[in-house]
Chain A
Amino acid sequence: MAVSIAKQGYNLGHGEHGDHEHELVIYQETRDMRLLGFVLFLGSDVVLFSAFIFAYIYLRTTVSPTWPPILDGHQLPRLDTAFAAVNSVVLFGSGVTMHYALENWKHGNRPRYNLFMLLTILLGAGFLGGQAYEYAHAQIGGWSGSIFGASFFTLTGMHGFHVFVGVVYLIVLWLQTQRNVYDQERYFGLTAGTLYWHFVDVIWVALFFLFYLW
C-alpha cells in the first residue's frame, strides 16, 4: 500500500494536458481514493493489534491467578513504569512535532517544516532506543518464559516494528521533500505519513495502559 502510494501518489498528477486546474481535479480524486484505502489499511492494522490485546486480556484474566505471573517459584516483578512514561512522552512528543511539520508544509514554511520533521524522526528513533534499553533490562523471564513475556514482547515488539517502519517512512518522505517531489497543493504522501504516525501513537496509548498502569 505505502509503496504504491509513494510510487504513484504524485506522478498521477502530471498529465500530458498541461491544464493545471484539470490536473488538480484529477489529483484530488486520486487522493480521496488513496486516503480511503490508507485509512482502511490502518483499520485492518488496528484489528491485528486488537487481536493481540484481546489475547493479553484473556490470558491475564482467565489463565493466570496472579499478575505478574509466577515463574519457577517466584513472582515476576512489574515493568518499570517511570521509564516507560518518559519514553511515552518522547513518542507523544513526536506526534506533536509531526502535526506541526504537516501544518508548516501546508503554509509553505519550509525551514520550520524541516525542523519539525527532523525532530519527529529523532524522537521516533529515541523511542526505539528507549525500547531497546527496556528490552535489555526487563526482568520478566524473556520472550518464551511466560505468557507475560510472550504478550509483552510480541505486542510491544509489533508496535516497535511499526515505529521502525514509520521512522524509515518519514526519512523517505523528508528526502522526497528535499527533492521537491511534493508541492503545496499535492502532498498526499505527507498526509499518509502523518496519519500513520498518529496511528502508532494511539496504539501506544492502549499498550501503555495495559502493560504499565493496569
Chain B
Amino acid sequence: MATLAPGVKTGSYHAVLDHIHPEPTSFIRKYIFSIDHKVIGIQYMITGGLFFLIAGLLAEIIRVQLLSPQNTFVTAATYNQVYSMHGSAMVWMVIIPLVTGAFGNFVMPLQIGARDVAFPWLNLAAFWMFPVAGVILFSSFLIGAPDAGWTEYPPISLQGPPGTTMWCIAIFLIGISSTLTGINFIVTIVKMRAPGMTFTRMPLFVWAQLATAGLSFIATTALAGALLALFLERTFGVPFYDPKHGGSPLLWQHMFWFYSHPAVYIMILPAFGIVSEVLPTFSRKPIFGYKMIAFSSVAIALLGFSVWAHHMFTSGMVPWLQLPFMILTMVIAVPTGIKIFSWMATLWGGSIRWTTPMLFATGFLITFTCGGLTGFFLAAVPADYHEHGTYFVVAHFHYVLYGGSVMGLFAGIYYWWPKMTGRMYDERLGQIHFWITFLAFNGTFMPMHWLGLMGMPRRVPYYDPAYQFWNQFASVSSFVLAASMLLFLYNLFTSFRSGKIAGPNPWGARTLEWMIASPPPYYNYKKIPAVLATPYDFGNPLPYIGLDAAPGATEATPTMSSHPVPAY
C-alpha cells in the first residue's frame, strides 16, 4: 500500500505504482531503457538537444548562402533540401519533443505528486520512436532530402527526391510517439494527482501540459492521415493530391494545417507553462489570475482547431470562408492577451530577482508579444495577400518559435537544471548567454520584417541586391546567436562536472517538485503529500501536509515573503 499523509482519505492511484516496477540495478535498464519518467525526460532533452544542434547548423548554412545575392556556397537544389530539413527538424524533432517529452516528462509527474506517469512502458516505447524517427529524417540526406519546404505541399512533394518518402515515415513515427505521450499525460493528470490537488490547485505548467496533450492526441492523428495518403500516393500512385489524376493539392493543405496550426500551440503552450512557473517564483508574488491563465490555455487549445485555413488565404480557397477564419484567428489573441497581461500584473510590484531563468522568461514576454502582434497582420486577409510567402512570415514564426518556445525552453532548462542535476550553473555566464541570445535573436529576425515588407520571397537561394544589407546583418547576427550556444553548453557542462551543490530548493519556489531532494530519488515521494491550496501564495505557509521533505527542503523554503531569500 502506498504511504499517504496521515489522516488523508483517498482513492489514490499511487497505490498502483508500488506494484509496477522495482528500481532497476543494471546500467542499461537504469539509463538506457528506463521506465522512470525523470530519466526519460532527460533522454528526450539530450536527444532533442543533439537534433537542435544539427537543425541549427542547417539554419547557419541558409544564412551563409544568403550573405550575398548570388552566392554559390550551396546549389539551389541543396538549398531547398537544407531549409526543408531545417524546418521539419526544428518543429518535429526539436521543439515538440523538448517542450512535451522533456519537460512534460521530467516536471509534470513531480508537480502533481505522482511517482511516475500512468503508463511507464508506453512512455519508454514513445521515447524510443523519437531518436529512430530523427535518424530516419536526417539520413534522408543520403538519398536526397525532401525539398518542398517543411510543409511539403504536393504536387511538388510528389516529384521530390526519394528522401521525401523517408520524411513521411519519420514524421508519421514521431506523430505516433507524440499521440501516445499525449494520451499518457492526460491519464496521468486526470487520474494521478496527489490527494487534495483539485484541478484548480494544479501548477500552471501542468495545466499547460494538459491542454497540450489534448491538442497533440487529436491533431497529430489527422496529420498521420495526411502523411499516410502522401506516402500511398508517392509509393503506389494512389491519387489523393495530384490534380493530373483527379486529386486535389488543396486537400493536403486542409489536412496538413488542421494539424500544423494546432501544432503551433503544442509548441507554445508548454512554454507558457514554464513562464507561469518562473515569473511568480522570482517575483515572490502570487501569480495574477491563476484561473484565467489556466482556462485560457484550454481556450487556446480549443480555438487552435478552428483557424487552420488562415494558412490558405492565397491558395485559392472559397472567398466567403476567409472572413470567419480571419475573425477566429484574431480571437485567439484574446486568451493569449489574458495570459500576457496576467504575467505583467504578476511582475507588477514584485520583488524581482533577475536570475537567468527570469531574464529568459521576461525576454520571452517581449519577443513572443512581438511575434503575436505580427501574427495579427498575417491574419488580416488583405495584409496577408501582400505578406504571404515573404520573409515577413519567416520573421513572424521565428519570433513565436524562437522568441517564444526556445526562450521558454532556455528559461525552463535554467530553472529546473538544479532539480535535474542537483548542481547550480554559473549565474554570470547564464546572464551573458541571455543577453547575447536576446540581442542576436532580434538582430537575426527583426530585419526579416523589413525584407518581407520590401517583398523578398522566402525559400530563395538568390535575391535582388537591394535586399543585401539586411540579409548580411541577419546572417552575422545569426552567427553570434549560434556562438552563444557554445557558451550555454560550456556552462551546463562545467556545472554538471563541478557546479555548486544546489540543495532541494535553491529558488525558494513552492511547487511540489522543490520539496524533495535534487535530483529527485527513484520513487519521487516516499510519502504522497496532501495539497491544501494553489502553490503560488507566497506569504502563506506551504500548502502541503504529510510531506516527507528532503533534509534542508523546508529551511530553504521561505514561507513568508519577508523571509530572507536564499543565496543562489
Contact = CB atoms under 8 A, between A and B. Distances in A.
Interface of A: 1, 4, 7-8, 12, 15, 17, 22, 25-26, 29-30, 32-33, 36-37, 40-41, 43-45, 47-48, 50-52, 54-55, 58-59, 62-64, 69, 143-144, 146-147, 150-151, 153-154
Of listed A36, A37, A43, A154, residue having the most chain B CB within 10 A: A37
Interface of B: 1, 11-13, 15-16, 19-20, 118-119, 121-122, 179-180, 182-184, 186-187, 190-192, 217-222, 224-226, 228-229, 232, 236-240, 245-248, 250-251, 254-255, 258
A50 B254 CA distance: 13
Contact of A147 (B122, B180, B247): B247
Secondary structure class of chain B's binding surface, majority of residues: helix
A79 B517 CA distance: 66
B238 A150 contact: yes
Contacts of B217: 40, 43-44
Given A40-B217, A41-B183, A58-B251, A51 B246 contact: no
Interface of A is mostly: helix
Contacts, number: 128
15 contacts: A1-B183, A12-B20, A25-B15, A29-B12, A29-B16, A36-B186, A40-B182, A40-B183, A44-B221, A48-B225, A51-B224, A64-B246, A146-B245, A147-B239, A151-B240
B239 to A, nearest CB: 5
B19 A12 contact: yes
B121 A4 contact: yes
B247 A63 contact: yes
A147 B250 CA distance: 14
Top 5 nearest A-B pairs (CB, nearest first) are A51-B225, A47-B221, A144-B237, A44-B221, A40-B183
B248 A43 contact: no
Nearest to B247: A147
A146 B119 CA distance: 43
B323 to A, nearest CB: 19
Contacts of A4: 119, 121-122
B316 to A, nearest CB: 11
A144 B241 CA distance: 12
B218 A47 contact: yes
Contact of A44 (B12, B13, B218, B236): B218
Q: Which of B12, B119, B121 has the most CB of A within 10 A?
A: B119
Contact of B221 (A45, A64, A69): A45
A80 B284 CA distance: 71
B248 A51 contact: no
Given A4-B119, A15-B19, A47-B218, 4 more contacts: A37-B122, A51-B226, A146-B239, A147-B245
B255 A54 contact: yes
Nearest to B218: A47
B187 A33 contact: yes
Nearest to B190: A36
A76 to B, nearest CB: 11
Interface centre among B13, B237, B238 (most CB of A within 10 A): B238
A29 B11 contact: yes
B108 to A, nearest CB: 16
Contact of A37 (B118, B225, B248): B118
B16 A55 contact: no
B238 A144 contact: yes
A72 to B, nearest CB: 12
A43 B187 contact: no
A143 B19 contact: no
Contacts of B183: 1, 37, 40-41, 44
A154 to B, nearest CB: 7
A17 B429 CA distance: 53
Contact of B240 (A1, A64, A147): A147
